[in-house]
Structure 1
Amino acid sequence: MPSPLVPLSEATGWRRPAVCLGIMAAANALAFATWSALLNNFAIEGVAFTGREIGILQSLREVPGFLAFTAVFCLLFIREQKFAVLALLFMGLGTAATGYFPTTYGFYLTTIVMSVGFHYFETVNQSLSLQWLPKGNAPQIMGRLLAVGSFATIAAYGLIFVTWKWLELDFDLVYLVGGGTTIAMALAVWLIYPQYKEDVVQHKHLVLRSRYWLYYALTFMSGARRQIFIVFAGFMMVEKFGFSVPAITAMFLANAVFNLYIAPKVGTLIVKWGERRALICEYIGLIGVFVAYAFVQDPWIAASLYLIDHAFFAMAIAQKTYFQKIADPADIAPTAGVSFSINHIAAVGIPVVFGLIWLHSPAAVFLIGAAMAAVSLVLSMLIPHDPHEGNETVLKGMNGKLPAPAE
């Protein structure tokens, strides 16, 4: 017999939804940190990848993100909260198995398994966060959740950095421990936490609304230029500057420590500034960072740019809370899947195409990224200072209609 659902308002202490989200955020970050910390070194040293293969790998990794809209159909058979835990289990499995398949196609396969779990979890996690967290302080709580993820990332990077040479670790053992820990945390959430009753029943079909067009456009551009950071910034550190596993891990560790400090402050800043100003700040900064990437010759400057680049991504909270303010509450779950698919339309093709560009001109890859950030900057200027249903953009003729009052 299924256990009774617990209303969000009645969950207190460690049973609060925010705490549950925090544990899942830590589990997600732990697996992804393990996978990403070793990615470029495993690709080059373990599987002898070039820019061509890493581009193919990253495109394959993004295919499940493109198919994230299918999450809404899974919700016909399983509750969102349970689906999030299942996705974490899949992610942990893919990460744990990576080191045991040190071939090109084996690496492709385990990456797809990990990615299916990662993208389904990110989709459902975004939906649950926007449903469970109050609009008034959602940016602050989401900033704290990012900090929790950063703490888990620090733990993973720190252990890899300290023990890699000291214990003469192999790729397969580190991947196994990282993925296995995520599996254990996911099972703990499944067994310990109650099932929460949503305040608004979510639509179980795809939702595409014309009044969300600006959110869709911002999401598309975000996915396009984010790929350049995810795929090629780290790859540049290994290929161009010769960073070893400890060096890459140290850079990621510094990045996570910085994010642990800055993410909660970014959330508070978004509450104070509003989504419009926060996103404008992000995209202006990203333009400068990408241009600098194109011409950097010093490894310390390159690592500093990586740190700054990742810090700006914390501002993406503003994109999510902008949607939270303009959305029909029942649209949150189906739109989360749709938005992830939109985010990954360009992401599926960019790694392969830009991997080929990389072979001829790495600088061109980053300059195109700067142009993408410039387009996002223009779009962010269309966000009103007070977004809400019926006031989605500053272009008054392109706003939606307010819902009719109840009888």
Structure 2
Amino acid sequence: MLKRENIKRAQHIYFLIIALAALGLGLSNNVISNYFKDAYNVTAYQRGLIEFPREMPGVIVILILASLSMFSDIRIAMVAQLLSIIGIGALGFVTPTFAVMLVFIFINSAGMHMFMPLQDSIGMSLIGDESIGRKMGQYKGVSTGFTMVAGVLVFAGFRTGFFSFTSDIKWIFIIAACILALVLVLLLTLERVIGQPIKSSKRVNFVFRKEYRYYYILVVMWGVQKQIMLVYGPWVLIDLLSKKADTLAVLSIVGAFIGIFFIPAVGRWLDRFGIKKLLYADALSFIVVYLAYGMLSAGFAGGRLATAGLPVLAAYALFVFDQMSTQMGMIRTIYLRSIAVSPLDITPTLSLGLSLDHIVSIICAYIGGIVWSRFGPQYIFFLAASLSLVNLYVAGRVKESPEFAADGMAKK
């Protein structure tokens, strides 16, 4: 049990950590597709192939965490930040050959993926007796707010010419590395404030309890949806509409501004309506977005839709809506917590889930690049919409545990 008098201070430090982590991510990972296009002029097929080194750390993260199990979660989070700093910082100073660039992308991605499950497990350890939906919503809201700040910096930097992916020095990546260095310092401070290590089970025990089967289905489906949403969604704007980083930054700003209010609301809705209804909403949102994306991309690629005016505004709206969908992952995390047979299952199950979704992501990225190049971009989105019907099935099968039913978490 954490020292009660230190919990509030620890939560404040944690808010700073997730804020700066989001800012650093917004200045690195969130603009990486434009980097690939501007610095290396990659095709849709190559863009799919790049996802192998980017997503492979997500597959092996459970093994990495297990190998570091003698350390606390916060200490491992420090290692994760160090790897991210090295990976993105190196790309800020040099523009290496394509193959060498992929090595640094792998290093940066390893740090980013290590931090993902640890961020959730550390955050939940600091919540105490508060309503988990509300507090997790606040965490995500802070993260989204600083994603918006990152978007403002990206827009201003590229519009003024200070940021460029074709220059010798990529200042945007160097600044991102410096911000992540501050996160590293704050993690060290957090450990001192807590006064005792936060340490969760990191055994490679591959928790395949039957109680978790629907959670694993959800994370596998998220692996499919994530690749379409985070890789090929923006690629519609970048490749078909020739939009640059400043345009995507403006859209990120809009999405993040909405998210400041939307994400905490999701937390409140979880407390009020329960997990089951939110899973239904999540599934339906993916189906609608992908069907619309498919129709728009078919029109752009075939020349039937203008690359200006209302069709482009519709594509922008879908991009923003996509950003909202990425934040719905907290529903899966809280669902897992509600069905966990043992608290020690949470971190290894999150890690295994992360590995499963990344295995699927790698496969989908490769297939997606082939489909885009040979058949057309619309078929990627239509396939994703069809597969999202699985989410509807899972939402129908999920049973609310009493304390997580409507109004349940608030009473817990």
TM-score, normalised with respect to structure 1: 0.88
Encode CA deviations 1:39-66: one digit per residue, 9 max, x unaligned.
Answer: 2222112111001211111222110001
Query: Structure 1 CA distance, aligned partners of 2:176 and 2:372?
Result: 31
CA contact (8 A) 1:283 1:376 kept: yes
Query: Structure 2 CA distance, aligned partners of 1:145 and 1:152?
Result: 11
Query: Structure 2 CA distance, aligned partners of 1:159 and 1:316?
Result: 26
Secondary structure class of the residue paired with 2:246: helix
In the alignment, structure 1 residue 277 sits paired with structure 2 residue 277: yes
CA contact (8 A) 1:200 1:330 kept: no
Paired amino acid for 2:240: K
CA contact (8 A) 2:206 2:349 kept: yes
Count of equivalent residues:
383
Shift of 1:163: 2.6
CA contact (8 A) 2:3 2:195 kept: yes
Greater Cα shift, 309-318 or 377-386? 309-318
Encode CA deviations 1:196-223: one digit per residue, 9 max, x unaligned.
Answer: 5478863644241232111111111111
Residue 372 of structure 2 is matched in structure 1 by: 358
Shift of 1:135: 7.0
Query: Structure 2 CA distance, aligned partners of 1:206 and 1:336?
Result: 12
Residue 202 of structure 1 is matched in structure 2 by: 201
Paired amino acid for 2:16: I
Query: Which segments of 5 or more consecutive residues in structure 2 lack a partner in the other structure?
Result: 297-304, 306-310, 406-412
- Within a 5 Å distance, the mapping from 1:147-296 to structure 2 comes to 147-171=141-165, 172-191=170-189, 193-194=191-192, 195=194, 197=196, 202=201, 204-208=203-207, 209-296=209-296
CA contact (8 A) 2:278 2:331 kept: yes
**Structure 1 192/200 Cα, relative in aligned 2: closer, same or farther at 3 Å?**
closer
Identity percentage of aligned residues: 20
Query: Structure 2 CA distance, aligned partners of 1:387 and 1:243?
Result: 48
Encode CA deviations 1:79-101: one digit per residue, 9 max, x unaligned.
Answer: 11111122122213222222423
**Structure 1 300/107 Cα, relative in aligned 2: closer, same or farther at 3 Å?**
farther
Residue 120 of structure 2 is matched in structure 1 by: 126
Query: Structure 2 CA distance, aligned partners of 1:144 and 1:219?
Result: 23
Query: Structure 2 CA distance, aligned partners of 1:331 and 1:133?
Result: 18
Query: Structure 1 CA distance, aligned partners of 2:385 and 2:217?
Result: 17
Residue 308 of structure 2 is matched in structure 1 by: none
Secondary structure class of the residue paired with 1:303: helix
CA contact (8 A) 2:255 2:320 kept: yes
Query: Structure 2 CA distance, aligned partners of 1:21 and 1:342?
Result: 28
CA contact (8 A) 1:279 1:316 kept: no
In the alignment, structure 1 residue 367 sits paired with structure 2 residue 382: yes
- Within a 5 Å distance, the mapping from 1:371-382 to structure 2 comes to 371-382=386-397
Secondary structure class of the residue paired with 1:242: coil
Paired amino acid for 2:183: M
In the alignment, structure 1 residue 112 sits paired with structure 2 residue 106: yes
Identify the match of residue 356 of structure 2 among 324, 342, 357. 342
Query: Structure 2 CA distance, aligned partners of 1:285 and 1:276?
Result: 14
Shift of 1:138: 1.3
Paired amino acid for 2:2: P
CA contact (8 A) 1:87 1:118 kept: yes
Shift of 1:25: 1.6
Residue 69 of structure 2 is matched in structure 1 by: 76
Residue 59 of structure 1 is matched in structure 2 by: 52
Aligned CA RMSD, in angstroms, stands at: 2.3
In the alignment, structure 1 residue 28 sits paired with structure 2 residue 28: no
CA contact (8 A) 1:203 1:331 kept: no
Secondary structure class of the residue paired with 1:67: helix
Residue 300 of structure 2 is matched in structure 1 by: none
Shift of 1:264: 0.6
**Structure 1 387/323 Cα, relative in aligned 2: closer, same or farther at 3 Å?**
farther
Query: Structure 2 CA distance, aligned partners of 1:164 and 1:201?
Result: 42
CA contact (8 A) 1:68 1:123 kept: no
Secondary structure class of the residue paired with 1:381: helix
TM-score, normalised with respect to structure 2: 0.87
Query: Structure 2 CA distance, aligned partners of 1:215 and 1:135?
Result: 24
Query: Structure 2 CA distance, aligned partners of 1:344 and 1:92?
Result: 22
Residue 315 of structure 2 is matched in structure 1 by: 302
Identify the match of residue 325 of structure 2 among 312, 323, 326. 312
Secondary structure class of the residue paired with 1:170: coil
CA contact (8 A) 1:66 1:342 kept: yes
Query: Which segments of 5 or more consecutive residues in structure 1 lack a partner in the other structure?
Result: 1-5, 392-407
CA contact (8 A) 2:62 2:202 kept: no
Identify the match of residue 90 of structure 2 among 91, 97, 113. 97
CA contact (8 A) 2:63 2:204 kept: no
